[in-house]
Amino acid sequence: MRRIGDTVIAVVTAFALGTGVWLLGTGTGTPPQPSAAEGRPDPGGARGAATPLLASPPTRIRIPAIRVNAPLMGLSLTSSGSLDVPPPAEKNLAGWYEAGTTPGDTGTAVVAGHVDNTEGPAVFYDLGALRRGATIEVDREDATTAVFTVDSVEVYSAKNFPDSKVYGASSRPELRVITCGGGYSRSTGYQGNVVVFAHLTGAHGT
Q: What is the pLDDT along the chain (206 residues), one digit of tens a residue?
A: 344 554 443 344 445 677 777 766 555 668 888 888 888 765 555 557 899 999 999 999 999 999 999 999 999 877 776 778 899 899 999 999 999 999 999 999 999 999 998 888 999 999 999 999 999 999 999 999 999 999 999 999 888 888 888 888 899 999 999 998 887 877 778 888 999 999 999 999 96
CA-angle at 131, arms to 125 and 135, nearest 5°: 90
Would you state the pLDDT for residue 142? 97
Nearest to 121 by CA among 195, 13, 32, 16: 32
How many CB atoms within 10 Å of residue 164?
9
Nearest to 88 by CA among 175, 22, 154: 22
CATH superfamily to which 2-29+48-205 belongs: Sortase (2.40.260.10)
Would you state the pLDDT for residue 30? 82
How many CB atoms within 10 Å of residue 126?
18
How many CB atoms within 10 Å of residue 51?
11
